[in-house]
Structure 1
Amino acid sequence: MTTPHLTVVDHPLVQHKLTLMRERDTPTAVFRQLLREISHLLAYEVTRDLPLTTKVIDTPLQEMEAPTLKGKKLALISILRAGNGLLDGVMELIPSARVGFVGLYRDEETLQPVQYYYKVPGEMGDRRVIAVDPMLATGNSSAAAIDLLKKSGAKDIRFMCLLAAPEGIARMKEAHPDVPIVTAAVDERLNDVGYIIPGLGDAGDRMFGTK
């Protein structure tokens, strides 16, 4: 499923690995490895339209004009803490990327984001920016993170997540209609405390074994 604002990556390997991650009894180490593997596959989609230029190179047989990435190196932005699980996998695919971090946590009573850290690369306006966070639930933290990135000059932004709720997609579309979302699945809804249903629980806790 693809619209201008939302791409759901329905590749069989993505869906199979996501099912394994959803299972309650999947161990922390396996969950972490699966998240890294899925992030590779999602990263292919989120980078599909990167601009290219050409340069002249010498192959073992002859000179040729060959495609190469154009412009400044990408900026990968992890929305802490759970974003680091996706970040690791994307960095394996794009090791030259610059990396930044947005520290936000959700107030469990108001469901609103609270900022505690922010550090991003320079020249954000000249880079493709990929913000990563496994769960797009209420969308409040994600929208707040994109607000901060735009204040730093970012103009070309993509948001990559593992799971999304319809409420989070709507919130992001309202706040940032210019930021496409790439995800592995859109689940049914949020429950009364803002968790994605059926979901997979708290991605950060399952990734780091903290609950």
Structure 2
Amino acid sequence: MADEPGNQTPNTPDVSETELRGMKVDELRKEAKEEGLSGTSGMRKGELVDAVAQAKQGSAPGTDESGSGSQDSDEVGAGPDGGRIRTGPETSKSLKYSQEITSPDEDPEREGRSLATTHHEVIKQWAESRGARPATVDGTEHGDHLGVLRFDFNEDTDKLRPVSWDEWFRTFDERRLNFIYQEQRKDGNQSNFFILESPNREDA
């Protein structure tokens, strides 16, 4: 039955499941992003096919009657650039020599490897696995906009003000920042190293 042409997805008469199944996972995730779906980075191919097919019919979970997505504040996805690093006229050498990570499923090529991503879920998992929370440096705000972005590793300081992940990622994307980090040091121990960097040299 899988070889039959046309649509085999129930209640999705205008969507060809065969066509979707013929796509690569990265292509399906791109389709999912265009449909406003989030949290697809951990889905398997079959789940992606079903989610995209449903979304194209406006019946995906998490959508209202108009078909627009209603995203939970704790739900994170790839972000607007699909996890890919942002480049510009002032792209640093450290970014150029870092391994690009575009999915939580990707691993460093070796211990101590410098990594870079814009993937929201990758960043959130990295921070939470270290007990870190999103924060901004108090007093660096610009009107209603957050100031310098940081993570609070439960440090004894009054300089950091906690913010929501939504606020943190909104500012991260508005400033076109890259997240450069390590998972492990060269000795194999967990690393807390990270920097936020803009290819346009804006204040992170």
With normalisation by structure 2, the TM-score equals 0.27
Write 1 or 2 for the structure with the bigger share of strand: 1
Write 1 or 2 for the structure with the bigger share of helix: 1
Q: Which has the larger radius of gyration?
A: 2
With normalisation by structure 1, the TM-score equals 0.27
